[in-house]
Amino acid sequence: MKKIQMVDLQSQYQKIKDVVNTSIDEVLNSSAYINGPYVKEFQADLEKYLGVKHVIPCANGTDALQIAMMGLGLAPGDEVITVDFTFAATVEVIGLLQLTPVLVDVEPDTFNIDINALKKAITPKTKAIVPVHLFGQCANMEAILAIAKEHNLFVIEDNAQAIGADYTFKDGTSKKAGTIGDVGTTSFFPSKNLGCYGDGGAIFTNNDELAHTLRGIVNHGMYKRYYHDVVGVNSRLDSIQAAVLKAKLPHLDTYCQARRNAARYYNNAFVNNPNIITPVAKSNKKNCSTSICDNCNCHVFHQYTLQITNGKRDELHQHLLDNNIPNAIYYPVPLHKQKAYADKRYKEDDFKVTNKLVETVISLPMHTELEEDQLAFITKTINDFIK
Give the interface with ligand PLP as residue ranges (CB under 6 A).
Answer: 60-62, 86-87, 89-90, 132, 158, 160-161, 187, 189, 199, 201
d(Cα 139, Cα 42) in Å, to the nearest integer? 27
φ/ψ of 362, rounded to 5, equals -150, 130
Of residues 137 and 187, the one with the C-beta less far from ligand PLP: 187
Of residues 12 and 86, the one with the C-beta less far from ligand PLP: 86
Of residues 46 and 382, the one with the C-beta less far from ligand PLP: 46
Map residue 211 onto helix, strand or coil: helix
In the complex, least distance from residue 72 CB atom to ligand PLP, rounded to whole angstroms: 17
Closest by CA to 155, choosing from 81, 230, 245, 255, is: 81
DSSP 27-88: HHHHT--BS-HHHHHHHHHHHHHHT-SEEEEES-HHHHHHHHHHHTT--TT-EEEEESSS-T
Of residues 62 and 297, the one with the C-beta less far from ligand PLP: 62
In the complex, least distance from residue 98 CB atom to ligand PLP, rounded to whole angstroms: 19
In the complex, least distance from residue 61 CB atom to ligand PLP, rounded to whole angstroms: 3
In the complex, least distance from residue 236 CB atom to ligand PLP, rounded to whole angstroms: 13
Considering all CA atoms of the chain, what is the largest pairwise distance in Å, rounded to the nearest integer? Answer: 66
Of residues 85 and 265, the one with the C-beta less far from ligand PLP: 85
Tell me if 276 sits within 8 A of 386, measured CB to CB. Answer: yes
d(Cα 145, Cα 155) in Å, to the nearest integer? 7
In the complex, least distance from residue 182 CB atom to ligand PLP, rounded to whole angstroms: 17
Cis amide prior to 346 (ω within 30 degrees): no
Of residues 158 and 369, the one with the C-beta less far from ligand PLP: 158
Closest by CA to 63, choosing from 191, 235, 215, is: 235
Angle at 184 between CA 339 and CA 122, to 5 degrees: 55
In the complex, least distance from residue 237 CB atom to ligand PLP, rounded to whole angstroms: 11
Of residues 269 and 364, the one with the C-beta less far from ligand PLP: 364
d(Cα 92, Cα 298) in Å, to the nearest integer? 28
Tell me if 165 sits within 8 A of 133, measured CB to CB. Answer: yes
Q: Give kind and range of the element (H or E) at residue 276.
A: strand 276-277
In the complex, least distance from residue 245 CB atom to ligand PLP, rounded to whole angstroms: 13
Rg for the chain (alpha carbons), in Å? 21
**Residues forming beta bridges with residue 103, ordered by sequence position:** 82
In the complex, least distance from residue 100 CB atom to ligand PLP, rounded to whole angstroms: 19
Of residues 354 and 379, the one with the C-beta less far from ligand PLP: 354
Helix axes 239-248, 37-50, angle to 10 degrees: 40
In the complex, least distance from residue 74 CB atom to ligand PLP, rounded to whole angstroms: 17
Of residues 8 and 199, the one with the C-beta less far from ligand PLP: 199
d(Cα 236, Cα 369) in Å, to the nearest integer? 30
Closest-approach residue to ligand PLP (CB)? 61
In the complex, least distance from residue 42 CB atom to ligand PLP, rounded to whole angstroms: 16
Of residues 87 and 266, the one with the C-beta less far from ligand PLP: 87
